[in-house]
Amino acid sequence: MKRPLEPSAESRGRIVGITDGVFAIALTLIVLEIRVPSHEAVHSEGELLSAILALAPRFLTYALSFLTLTIFWFGQQAQHGLIAKSDRRLATLNLCFLAFIALLPFSTDLLADFLEFRLAVLVYWLNLLMLGLTLLASWRYAEKNGFLAEGVDAQTTRTVYLRIVKAQILWAISAALCLISPLLSVGFILVVQLVYATAPRSSLLRHIVG
């Protein structure tokens, strides 16, 4: 007999569908903040060059948003590649994760506009923290309820936990650096994200980021 919303592979497939949709939209929407300079203010090649160079912080924001989205797209994917089926609660946890993904452009814009304010760094860090917590909660839920795919052993399970916790520790340290200077804090976050996004093969770095 079939019951509505039983744990199933299809439910898992739909989570993947809505997740890729939200990430695709987020990736595209963050570019909309980069606006073409007004034609009236530009009368020469030199003025156009200045106008484009003035957009530099926006391109930096775009790169930052892009890196963060990349990291969490892989984070979600790493989990779901190891999960065989999903029920309603696991799907809800994933939607909560997506709700904070959808908030990332806001946090990133706030950070870009208020780079010199500690509060902007804290809001951004809070967003990263909530993303980590929802990933952690959904992995724990999948593990406790036997939704993991066959062949996922205790060591792999532990690796997933460790990766999330290690990244959060690095971001917490970065956030704490805003007691010295908000810019130092942002710089540190950027470095952490670059390391995660490029997934370097260097053994020292791999040891730190898990």
Binders in 125-184 for a second copy, by CB under 8 A: 149-153, 155-156, 159-160, 163
Closer residue to a second copy, CB minimum distance, 105 or 132: 105
Please state the closest distance from residue 177 (CB atom) to a second copy, in A.
Answer: 16
Single residue of 133, 172, 197, 209 touching a second copy by CB under 8 A: 197
Does residue 205 touch a second copy according to CB under 8 A? no
Is 110 a residue that touches a second copy (CB under 8 A)? yes
Instruction: Closer to a second copy by CB, 133 or 152: give it.
Output: 152
Q: Site for a second copy (CB under 8 A): which residue of 41, 57, 106, 169?
A: 106
CB 124, CB 189: distance < 8 Å: yes
60 binds a second copy, rule: CB under 8 A: no
C-beta closer to a second copy: residue 150 or 203: 150
In this chain, which of 57, 88, 176, 208 binds a second copy, going by CB under 8 A? 88
**Which of 95, 129, 137, 194 is the binder for a second copy (CB under 8 A)?**
95
Rule CB under 8 A: choose which of 64, 90, 98, 131 binds a second copy.
98
Both tokens of 16, joined, read 């993947």
Q: Does 208 bind a second copy (CB under 8 A)?
A: no
Site size with a second copy, rule: CB under 8 A = 78
CB 117 within 8 A of CB 182: yes
